[in-house]
């Protein structure tokens, strides 16, 4: 697979004058060189660098790529064309599916898994998405249960709506068909113009979800943070090829007020200090994943759409306070029959309903979770057993004591502090 790196950024907000933004140094190398190293590590050795501002600095440093072990082609835009407009310059040159990086993004992710996901779908392309701690200020995508992109939500967002915290990370795999959606000789961007065109067309666009490290360095504050994360090893450590521990969270009674009698999204309320607790998890090496039984779907009391809306509200409220979840898994089944309006095909003894551990095992497969070093926090014995069944440590949220729990805590914040005190990496 060939790689295109869009490297036209000026770095004005970083105070750069003599070098373009992708040439800013991190740990002794330009960011652009780190991106090339990442691609080479996964066998990508032909790279097209699209540049504009101070393009000669990039070309003089990299040349034809021979001394870096790759083949580099330099294409200079005649005037600013935006991320998509500049890609149009490669129409007719790129004949097969290709990958796109933005040159101002610090990242380390499993390209092999990304490519394999893309290969499973007949589509015009795949975009990489992830949650972040400022979704209110990010371009978001909405996906369906099959990870097909169904809506593009550019910033600023409607204050009265709720969204999935799925941020467009500006990493793509495209078919050459993408060029049909880009006009020649005018400035266009993928996030603002092209992705919406695709979603509105008959062509399919998929989203690859990942919790790996992918962050832009657009401001001086962000640059210092990502630089420190790189030097500390955090950027490489979060690559999905490395197992990560997780904090599994029950939903009702742990994150929000119990919704048994009020199952609608409008009644969802976060409990006190929940956002602060999840932010602590986000700042550690632990993943944060919700695993929740939602039997009211099977009973006919609430629809899938309503539960999905509740989860959008949860993600939106957490995001406004700088917290995020790496995954949400829910079981819609219930084994007992006899409810008016119940959904017959959902009345079953499944493997996902806690105290069984199906949701935890699915998350472990999806996110490469180290279950032996993970925790589950819940307010019922079902939660504790689901965790114990797969080797997780357990914390019981209650004013009472559970003999099945490794620890007991009154709320999520206190439970999180117990976990971080017992060995979370920073």
Q: Which residues are identified as catalytic?
A: 250, 252
Biggest alpha carbon–alpha carbon distance for the chain: 74
Start-to-end Cα distance in the chain: 35
Rounded Cα distance between 76 and 70, Å, is: 19
- Residue owning tokens 């050795």: 45
Helix ranges restricted to H, 151-295: 195-200, 220-232, 234-237, 274-282
- In 298-346 the beta strands, taken as DSSP E runs, fall at 327-331
Rounded Cα distance between 286 and 288, Å, is: 6
Residues in the chain: 426
- Nearest by Cα to 425 from 370, 360, 362: 370
| C-beta of residue 282 within 8 angstroms of C-beta of residue 133 | yes
Partners of 143 in beta bridges: 149
- Number of CB atoms found within 10 A of residue 239's CB: 20
* Tokens describing residue 333: 């089944």
Helix (H) or strand (E) holding 47: strand 46-51
């Amino acid at each position: 697979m060939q790689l295109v790196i869009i490297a036209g950024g000026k770095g004005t907000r970083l105070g750069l004058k003599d070098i373009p933004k992708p040439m800013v140094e991190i740990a002794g190398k330009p960011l652009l060189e780190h991106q090339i190293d990442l691609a080479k590590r996964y066998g990508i050795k032909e790279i097209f660098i699209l540049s504009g501002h101070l393009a000669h600095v990039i070309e003089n440093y990299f040349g034809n790529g021979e001394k870096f072990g790759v083949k580099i082609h330099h294409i200079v835009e005649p005037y600013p064309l935006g991320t998509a407009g500049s890609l149009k310059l490669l129409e007719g040159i790129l004949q097969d599916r290709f990958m796109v990086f933005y040159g101002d993004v610090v990242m380390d992710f499993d390209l092999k898994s990304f490519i394999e996901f893309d290969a499973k779908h007949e589509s015009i392309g795949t975009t990489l998405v992830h949650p972040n701690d400022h979704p209110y200020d990010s371009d978001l995508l909405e996906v369906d249960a099959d990870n097909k992109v169904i809506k593009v939500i550019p910033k600023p967002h409607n204050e009265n709506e709720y969204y999935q915290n799925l941020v467009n990370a500006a990493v793509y795999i495209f078919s050459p068909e993408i060029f049909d959606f880009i006009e020649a000789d005018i400035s266009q961007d993928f996030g603002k113009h092209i992705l919406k065109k695709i979603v509105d067309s008959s062509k399919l666009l998929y989203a690859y979800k990942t919790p790996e490290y992918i962050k832009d360095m657009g401001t001086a504050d962000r640059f210092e943070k990502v630089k420190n994360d790189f030097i500390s090893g955090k950027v490489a450590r979060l690559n999905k090829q490395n197992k990560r521990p997780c904090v599994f969270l029950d939903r009702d009674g742990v994150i929000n007020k119990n919704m048994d009698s009020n199952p609608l999204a409008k009644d969802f309320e976060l409990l006190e200090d929940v956002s602060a607790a999840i932010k602590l998890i986000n700042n550690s090496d632990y993943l944060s994943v919700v695993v929740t039984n939602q039997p009211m779907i099977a009973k006919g009391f609430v629809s899938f759409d309503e539960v999905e809306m509740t989860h959008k509200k949860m993600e939106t409220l957490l995001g406004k306070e700088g917290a995020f979840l790496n995954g949400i898994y829910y079981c819609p089944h219930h084994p007992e029959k006899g409810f008016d309006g119940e959904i017959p095909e959902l009345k079953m003894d499944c493997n996902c309903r806690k105290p069984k551990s199906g949701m935890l095992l699915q998350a472990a497969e999806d996110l490469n979770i180290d279950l032996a070093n993970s925790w589950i926090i819940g307010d019922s014995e079902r939660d504790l057993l689901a965790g114990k069944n797969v080797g997780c440590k357990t914390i019981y949220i209650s004013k009472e004591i559970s003999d099945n729990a490794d620890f007991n805590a009154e709320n999520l914040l206190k439970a999180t502090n117990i976990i971080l005190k017992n060995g979370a990496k920073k």
